[in-house]
Structure 1
Amino acid sequence: MTDEAPTGFTRVRLDLAYDGGGFSGWARQVGRRTVQEEIEEALRVVTRSPGRYELTVAGRTDAGVHARGQVAHVDLPDEVWAGQGEGRLLRRLAGRLPHDVRVWRAEEAPPYFNARFSAVWRRYAYRVADHPGGVDPLLRGHVLWHNWPLDVAAMNEASRRLLGEHDFAAFCRRREGATTIRALRDLRWERRADGVVEGTVRADAFCHNMVRALVGALLFVGDGHRPPDWPARVLAARVRDSAVHVVRPHGLTLEEVAYPPDGELAARNAQARRRRTLAGAEGAAG
């Protein structure tokens, strides 16, 4: 994967949002409806191109996960981009895309921009309702119902113990050749005025199922089934605990992806591609 558009092409940054309820995730899959396929097909149609232009995305969301601040890039032939311009391309995409996915911005990316490797952090939100009557029907596609009252202070106490760079193998689905070392920068909970408990999770990157597994563990703390030090003990063991449940995806939303200043993009790309290890650790989990 290159950090520069091929000769004769312009790299375009796309900022987009989608309701994940009707998708089998971001990544293109044979026989399944995905966000990537919808946008790539819409681009093909509105640019009147014979073939599709492949998107590179900041974070491949799972089936049912939503996004409000997703970022992708696509390399378009110079003549195609010159004939579109930002406003014209957005209007055409709005008329072609289904209503559960929107592109809000399309602009020429700076040199060395890569939607995936240039990102310095991703921020997700997970929303839970613990009202005994259930979830507001108008929010049911974006809020999980937890049938136990939640102690937000206990969840925050447990969350603070997980911050920093660790091997999150106990909270990730392992993938061959992929590291499970991540830097968790923010993990906190608050009860909104409407009673919904909202968690903010921010890290440089996430491994598969990491956020939903962390939420599952913290809900067990919040409802009193486990003490606040339990998630940190699970983390230290680096082994998946059978009591850690991966919560349902519909409560999870990718809210924001952050990038460094333009002059630091190339250095960030190189850093993101380096194999992660923990200081003083040998044979870090891969």
Structure 2
Amino acid sequence: MTARGRYCLRRFSRATLDSRRKRESCYAALRDPRTLRFSDQPLDVDTRVVARVEYHGGHYHGWQAQPHLSVPTVQEALENALAAVAGLPVVTTCAGRTDTGVHGFSQIIHFDDHVGRSTKAWVMGVNRHLPDAVRVHWALPTSSDFHARFSATARHYRYILCNTPIRPAALSGLVTWYRHPLDLSVMNEAAQRLLGEHDFSAFRAASCQASSPDRFVSTCDVHRRGDLVIVDITANAFLHHMVRNVVGSLLAVGTAARSVGWFEEVLASRDRTLAAETAAADGLYLARVDYPDTFDLPPTPEGPTLLTGHL
């Protein structure tokens, strides 16, 4: 690590972050995993902290804590680890509450540091108290008006299918196995019908509590990498089960069980009963959350790590 990088990381406090130039220089050091370090300097009390969290959703009953059910959740595991470092309860807010079995490659959270711990404590210390299926990748002080959910401008979900005759053993729980041949050209053609702002009631779970079914989808692409078929979809926000319901209907088109015209009619119908069955949870990842540049968050790497290339 350069002397400049060491200097920045030692002084990774909110006061230092007021300078955009210094902050960008610090991030340059953080981007290189070979020189990954975090500051020992305590943050100011009541500093808002933003962090990137990764987790294997197959081990949990979704993100949101459910104390009345006594089931393991990601939020509970994370807040227990944060509390162990803080010495008092810590409440987190996430960018998107994932369902049971859904993975978080780049879940963004925020919480308020009421005790003044260092960024090193919020990463390395917290990770020591976390189960293997959950990890904090970075934690940084941010402005008090940052909100993991409401400051987000877009969410990017990635659905991964292993399209092989035999179920893959090594990828169990990380992808959804689908043995039938798929025509990606017609799947892509159907996917483009989702672009723009629509009422997505046809792809909305009955239990969805969103006040409005309208969402704006900016990208939806289907592509193949070897045996893997990947559906990438970006929107300002998503309804409950929206991605999995979309993927289920795209698969019906890809196998020629249904047509592109049918897919378009389903979207226009706003009727969930007309769409195909919901795709399994194990192939779905919250891959990236976008925020305004003013927050200067570190870039999200390609993910999950079983893939290569760029989002």
Structure 1 length as normaliser, TM-score? 0.84
- TM superposition shift of 1:110: 2.0
- TM superposition shift of 1:242: 4.3
> Match for residue 180 of structure 1?
213
Q: Structure 1 residues 243, 235: closer, same or farther in 2, change over 3 A? A: closer
Identity among equivalent positions (%) equals: 39
Q: Does 1:151 align with 2:190?
A: no
- Amino acid in the other structure paired with 2:54: A
| Aligned residue pairs, count | 250
Deviation by residue 1:236-265 (Cα, 9 ceiling, x = unmatched): 01111344211110000011001012279x
| SS of structure 2 residue aligned to 1:75 | strand
- TM superposition shift of 1:230: 1.6
| SS of structure 2 residue aligned to 1:262 | helix
> Match for residue 231 of structure 1?
263
> Match for residue 132 of structure 1?
165
> Match for residue 143 of structure 2?
110
Among 23, 27, 43, the alignment partner of 2:82 is 43
Tell me, in whole angstroms, the C-alpha distance in 2 between the residues paired with 1:27 and 1:216.
24
Tell me, in whole angstroms, the C-alpha distance in 1 between the residues paired with 2:172 and 2:195.
30
Q: Structure 1 residues 23, 177: closer, same or farther in 2, change over 3 A? A: closer
- TM superposition shift of 1:130: 2.2
Tell me, in whole angstroms, the C-alpha distance in 1 between the residues paired with 2:184 and 2:113.
47
- Amino acid in the other structure paired with 1:260: P
Shift >6 Å, 4+ stretches:
none
- TM superposition shift of 1:62: 0.2
- TM superposition shift of 1:140: 1.6
| SS of structure 1 residue aligned to 2:273 | coil
Stretches of structure 2 that go unaligned for 5 or more consecutive residues are 1-43, 297-311
Q: Does 1:120 align with 2:153?
A: yes
Residue 23 of structure 1 contacts residue 33 of structure 1 at CA under 8 Å; is this kept in 2? yes
> Match for residue 277 of structure 1?
none
Tell me, in whole angstroms, the C-alpha distance in 2 between the residues paired with 1:263 and 1:58.
15
Tell me, in whole angstroms, the C-alpha distance in 2 between the residues paired with 1:142 and 1:201.
18
Q: Does 1:20 align with 2:57?
A: yes
Among 265, 286, 292, the alignment partner of 1:260 is 292
> Match for residue 46 of structure 2?
9
Deviation by residue 1:68-108 (Cα, 9 ceiling, x = unmatched): 1110000121xx22xx2112331111211000000011111
Residue 81 of structure 2 contacts residue 127 of structure 2 at CA under 8 Å; is this kept in 1? no
Q: Structure 1 residues 56, 226: closer, same or farther in 2, change over 3 A? A: same
- TM superposition shift of 1:148: 1.1
Tell me, in whole angstroms, the C-alpha distance in 1 between the residues paired with 2:197 and 2:90.
36
- TM superposition shift of 1:124: 0.8
